[in-house]
Structure 1
């Protein structure tokens, strides 16, 4: 199916209409102008400026170290590139947990300083006060349940969440609470496909899956993973569409060889 890229700006309402008519939502991460421009022009529905920038852009082991200022820098870079996609920005660890006033201030800074369209928060019932306060200010929120990487030290592992009945029941409850609080969508990360299907059917708002099966209303991947820029990172849920690591590595080696052999620059590449 061809993608209509001549569409006006996608909004939170567009995603909800897509769910209603059964059209799947495509989402990828982006953290810089160049990549964002490519994925936007390709016709992606939504771009997530993820706190995964902490891993793939800065080399940290977890998403925890990235700051609000750094998220705003990445988000503003993406906003300058994208003319079509809905742009959602992660509120980073420590910018919203346990303090709804700080959460609102963080969300306002992202919206004002980057020009993004929405923010994303991890968690359910425990962050409802922050969710309510941000939405009351007119800022759209995407929720995030299941594996919540900002809580990695609580979980102690990146394995699949909500296999046990108690955790599954809490996730189902949290999803309804986020919907009732006014979230426009919710990411479901690394949970059993059957549970994701049940949650998706129970909500009016769209679900975006990552490692949560095909019944979700949409899918999101980290663009560096999908393009094969991260050598050796191949979790079960990832489909790798390119081997950019190999392609770039080969190109760099060719460049090195040409320079060493005095083959570059040639006569046509000089003034």
Structure 2
């Protein structure tokens, strides 16, 4: 049966680890879904795949275009779409319109918003009241890269307490899950134990309820991986070798034979 946001909460209750990866097109989404991934995130990290240096330039229309492609390849996993920078921060009305477009135009089941400060908690509560499933995101929030940098968050007692309280506030606002990005493992464990909804870690240690990575990092396609990523295969080298072999055969008139 297709996985739902509510099913992910049941997985936490059962102690079953949640597997999440990102996707940006039909083929990758289909492969991830066939392999049994529980959650597929159409992340704004796709901006790097599109050639941007950060996640900030990617637009809502670009996210919608790729989310439609991803959704067509998925039969079982729950699909979540990042709302990109400045598509939800201006007002609750703007967030409602952006999130509504995601659900109406792509068929994906949920959206993800970054941040746990009071205004964002209010926005998320309104979205949930309107029937829009929301995933939260605290710790390192890439859309705040120019303010926070890419350093680990929550290293001091004050920072850790702030992130913990943000996570609690997001659960109270109604999110069905929270991404914990690049925070100390002990802090992630504390948050995971405090919440009744699943935590999905990325660079947050092994004690989260699930893990997510950027698929291009997992497959070795990225030119540069974050320190917490793990490369499971080197497709960058394999693709380069395959194209080089094809090119040589064409030039030597060996293809087609």
Query: Which interval holds the TM-score relative to the shorter structure?
Result: over 0.9
Paired positions, count: 256
Structure 1 residues 238 and 165 mapped into 2: Cα distance closer, same or farther (>3 Å)?
Answer: same
Question: What is the rounded CA distance, in whole Å, between the counterparts of 2:177 and 2:250 in structure 1?
Answer: 51
Q: Please tell me whether the aligned partners of residues 98 and 127 of structure 1 are also in contact (alpha carbons under 8 angstroms).
A: no
Answering whether residue 164 of structure 2 is matched by residue 172 of structure 1, we say yes
**Residue 15 (structure 1) shift:** 0.5
Of 245, 250, 254, which residue of structure 2 is paired with 1:259? 250
Question: What is the rounded CA distance, in whole Å, between the counterparts of 2:190 and 2:79 in structure 1?
Answer: 27
**Residue 167 (structure 1) shift:** 1.2
**Residue 234 (structure 1) shift:** 3.3
Query: Who is 2:63 aligned against?
Result: 71
Structure 1: any 5+ residue segments left out of the alignment?
A: 1-7, 267-271
Q: Please tell me whether the aligned partners of residues 116 and 138 of structure 2 are also in contact (alpha carbons under 8 angstroms).
A: yes
Structure 2: any 5+ residue segments left out of the alignment?
A: none
Question: What is the rounded CA distance, in whole Å, between the counterparts of 2:209 and 2:240 in structure 1?
Answer: 36
Answering whether residue 32 of structure 2 is matched by residue 43 of structure 1, we say no
Query: Who is 1:113 aligned against?
Result: 105
Of 165, 183, 199, which residue of structure 2 is paired with 1:207? 199
Of 124, 140, 144, which residue of structure 2 is paired with 1:151? 144
Of 3, 10, 13, which residue of structure 2 is paired with 1:17? 10
**Residue 133 (structure 1) shift:** 1.4
Q: Give the TM-score normalised by structure 2.
A: 0.98
Q: Please tell me whether the aligned partners of residues 122 and 173 of structure 2 are also in contact (alpha carbons under 8 angstroms).
A: no
**Residue 236 (structure 1) shift:** 2.6
Question: What is the rounded CA distance, in whole Å, between the counterparts of 2:59 and 2:100 in structure 1?
Answer: 15
Question: What is the rounded CA distance, in whole Å, between the counterparts of 1:216 and 1:160 in structure 2?
Answer: 16
- Provide Cα deviations, 1:163-195, integer angstroms capped at 9, x if missing partner: 011111110000000000100000000000000
Pick which of 208-217 and 97-106 moved more.
Answer: 97-106
CA-based RMSD: 0.8
Q: Give the TM-score normalised by structure 1.
A: 0.93
Q: How does 1:216-231 map to 2 (within 5 A)?
A: 216-231=208-223
Question: What is the rounded CA distance, in whole Å, between the counterparts of 2:195 and 2:121 in structure 1?
Answer: 17
Q: SS of the counterpart of 2:56?
A: coil
Q: Which aligned segments of 4 or more residues in structure 1 are displaced greater than 6 angstroms?
A: none
Question: What is the rounded CA distance, in whole Å, between the counterparts of 1:68 and 1:136 in structure 2?
Answer: 22
